[in-house]
Structure 1
Amino acid sequence: MWLPVLALTACAPAVRPQPVQVWEGSARILLRTQDYRLTFTVDPVTHLLSGSLDNRSSGDRFEARGTLLPGPDGAELTAQLTAGDSPRLNASVLGFGVSGLSPKADALLGGRVTGDLFTGSLRVGGVRYPLNLKRVQ
């Protein structure tokens, strides 16, 4: 009776915990230096990345979803950053208005990971800002 259960258990793929990566650094955005912390995990099979980017200067947090694709000269990181569950603006004047508008702009994070360094950019509203991060965990 236990033999079929053991056989099925042996065929099931092993679930491996995904290590959490933490990166810290800064970018100069609109003449001000902003400190950032990027925290994420990567699925080793699909290379899908999920986590968050924290602006430590302003206290804002953005959800990060993207990929970390390995390559011969490092890995290519691309992630869409969204405001997530932040408060939304709902306003109207004489029947015209906005609904569900986030006061935080979405952004795109992209660049190359070489060893413990990320060199890339944060694109907000079509403008690219250089961003350098160092792995701390």
Structure 2
Amino acid sequence: MRWIVPAVLLLAACAPAPARQPVHTFEGSARVLLTVQTYRLTFTENRVTHDIRGTLVNRTSGDAFQATGTLLPATDGDLLTADISAGDSPRLNATVFGIGLRDVPLKAGALLSGTIRHDAFAGSLRVNGFSSALSMKRVQ
């Protein structure tokens, strides 16, 4: 009976530690319609499933969005694809001349896609059908 406790402790010491999920942070800008918007993308990467979770902050307006997607390894860089959603943003409920609007989000979702090569991201941010070129550099 005395040997059970040391054996359990020895086996627990041999168990692999959970893998740390790396945190990536990129900052850059995109020309959206007529103005330049600056962005900060911060996400964690699960290297086993290639899933990412994080936030995309529009630093010009101060709006923050949730980012979920994948970061897939490729020969010429890592391919990033993420759905950008406003989460629990305010929603519009109104009636104008008998026409009702219900549960319309005031912030639009987007699709972020591109390639990470070394410390640079080059891709696009597609919002409401309009695509804007987005380039960012790693900051951490």
TM-score by length of 2: 0.88
Q: Report what 2:132 is aligned to.
A: 129
4+ residue runs over 3 A deviation = 3-13, 92-96
- How far the C-alpha of 1:26 sits from its partner, in A, is 0.2
Amino acid at match of 1:110: S
Please say which of residues 59-68 and 84-93 is displaced more in the overlay: 84-93
Q: Where in structure 2 are the equivalents of 1:31-50 lying within 5 Å?
A: 31-50=34-53
Aligned-partner SS, 1:101: strand
* Residues 96 and 116 (structure 1), Cα distance of their counterparts in 2 relative to 1, 3 Å cut: same
Q: Report what 2:86 is aligned to.
A: 83
- Which has the greater radius of gyration? 2
Q: Which runs of 5+ in 2 are unaligned?
A: none
Seq. identity, %: 57
Q: Report what 1:104 is aligned to.
A: 107
C-alpha distance in 2 between matches for 1:125 and 1:27: 15
Map Cα deviations across residues 53-96 of structure 1 (whole Å, 9 max, x no partner): 00000111110000000111110000000001211222235875
TM-score by length of 1: 0.89
| Paired residues, number | 137
CA RMSD, Structure 1 to Structure 2 (Å): 2.0
Amino acid at match of 1:61: A
- How far the C-alpha of 1:98 sits from its partner, in A, is 2.8
Select which of 87, 92, 95 maps to 2:95.
92
* Residues 96 and 73 (structure 1), Cα distance of their counterparts in 2 relative to 1, 3 Å cut: same
